[in-house]
Amino acid sequence: MKRIIRMMLVCFLILGISGCAQKKEESGVTVYDIGICNYVDDASLNQIVDNIRNQLDVLGKENGIEFRIDYQNCNADAGIMNQIISDFIAEDKDLMVAIATPVAMGMQAATEEKKIPVVFAAVSDPLGAGLVESLDLPGDNLSGTSDFLDTSAVLNLIMALDPEIKKVGLLYDAGQDASSLPIADARKIFADLGIEIVEKTGTNVSEIQLAVQALISEKVEAVFTPTDNTVMEAQLTIYEDLIEAGIPHFTGADSFALNGAFLGYGVDYANLGKETANMIYDVLAKGENISSMPVKTFDNGTATINAETCSLLGYDYDEISARFAPFCTKVQPILTAESFD
């Protein structure tokens, strides 16, 4: 009897501390149930989800494992998000995946006592959001991938395009955690350079459209947006207005450029999704302790120029690429589309 109790205590500690999943066998195949909650339907986050799915499919086939995915999108609705998370817990998911900071924070709060492992993706500032204690040793029951943006690198490109620029617009959603630090950095950098800034914000597509019109009216010479999901959602509705006004839009991800922005600079979201899937595999299949898995960050070195927008703004792509090259590890073109192939 004592031996059984000891075994139960050991199992409890393993499950409680490391968040290891209980194996399920179906037709001789090990199955893991995963719940993914996406924050909003946009090109950046959808690209991450697609690559998580694809990489888990590859890893599953290579190792005789099935990753059964329950995918949900809360469409930026906190009530729906909390219900999705509650459902995942009630359904005893082996692991939950949070796409973007608000979902990661919701899952962290909901699983604090349950100790269900949570892998987040595209959290720009995990420390600032209070999700982890450190990037090297996150603690608790979650870790993941960060799309941290090197703001100064993007602003260097603005200055490379126009060294005499006098007025820059900052376009973002003040409620987006992903925008807080980059916008604060941009304010300081532009102030030090003596460049006037005009800030316009919005909390939905309509408000972002109005904010763009206000920036155009104030005759800004360029616009900067970090990895802001609200602006990303509105991107297809605003890029033509900015082009018509002759204003280049510099942004924090290639998905903005896909949707018409002049330039996106930052992480490769396809690779970020793949690395997120690798972390999921390590937790579930290899039994690694998620609380000691470092948060993965990436080299923000790729500048993606929308070749069509570049031409419509009157720039020569080859000339601009050469001008940007000293500030990037890579410069690449993209054409306008709604989503990645």
Tally of CA atoms within 13 A in the half-sphere of 84 that contains its CB:
26
Condensed to tens digits (0 to 9), the pLDDT of residues 288-309 reads 999 999 999 998 789 999 999 9
The string of DSSP codes covering 160-223 is HH-TT--EEEEEE-TT-HHHHHHHHHHHHHHHHHT-EEEEEE-SSHHHHHHHHHHHHHTT-SEE
Alpha-carbon distance values, 143 to 108, 140, 271 (Å): 10, 9, 17
The string of DSSP codes covering 96-165 is EEEESHHHHHHHHHHTTTT---EEEES-S-TTTTTS-S-SSS--TTEEEB-----HHHHHHHHHHH-TT-
* Per-residue DSSP letter, 61: H
* Per-residue DSSP letter, 292: G
Percent of the chain at pLDDT > 70 equals 93
Alpha-carbon distance values, 163 to 21, 225, 242 (Å): 55, 19, 20
Q: Are 299 and 329 in contact (CB under 8 A)?
A: yes
H helix and E strand count, the chain: 12, 13
Nearby residues of 163 by Cβ (< 8 Å), 6 or more positions away: none
pLDDT band at 23 (very low <50, low <70, confident <90, very high): low
**Nearest CA to 124 among 224, 269, 262, 303?**
269
The dihedrals phi and psi of 118, each to the nearest 5 degrees, come to -125, 125
Residue 16 has pLDDT above 70, yes or no: no
Helix (H, G, I), strand (E, B), or coil: what is residue 341? Answer: coil
Q: How many residues can be counted in the chain?
A: 341
Residue 42 has pLDDT above 80, yes or no: yes
**Residue bearing tokens 């998580």:** 52
Q: Which residues on neighbouring strands pair with residue 71, listed in sequence order? A: 36
Condensed to tens digits (0 to 9), the pLDDT of residues 49-97 reads 999 999 999 999 999 999 999 999 999 999 999 999 999 999 999 999 9
pLDDT, residue 17, reads 37
Residue 3 has pLDDT above 80, yes or no: no
- Which tokens in the block code for residue 85? 């998370």
Other beta carbons within 10 angstroms of residue 3's beta carbon come to 7
Mean pLDDT, the chain, rounded, equals: 92
**Nearest CA to 237 among 200, 207, 197?**
207
Percent of the chain at pLDDT > 90 equals 86
Nearby residues of 316 by Cβ (< 8 Å), 6 or more positions away: 310
Helix (H, G, I), strand (E, B), or coil: what is residue 50? Answer: helix
pLDDT, residue 67, reads 98
pTM score, whole prediction:
0.85
Strands 95-99 and 118-121: parallel
Domains of the chain, earliest start first: 23-148+268-292 (3.40.50.2300), 151-266+301-334 (3.40.50.2300)
Strands 29-38 and 24-26: antiparallel
- Report how far residue 163's alpha carbon sits from residue 195's, in angstroms, rounded to the nearest whole number: 11
Tally of CA atoms within 13 A in the half-sphere of 263 that contains its CB:
29
Helix (H, G, I), strand (E, B), or coil: what is residue 60? Answer: helix
Residue range 144-168: mean pLDDT, rounded? 96
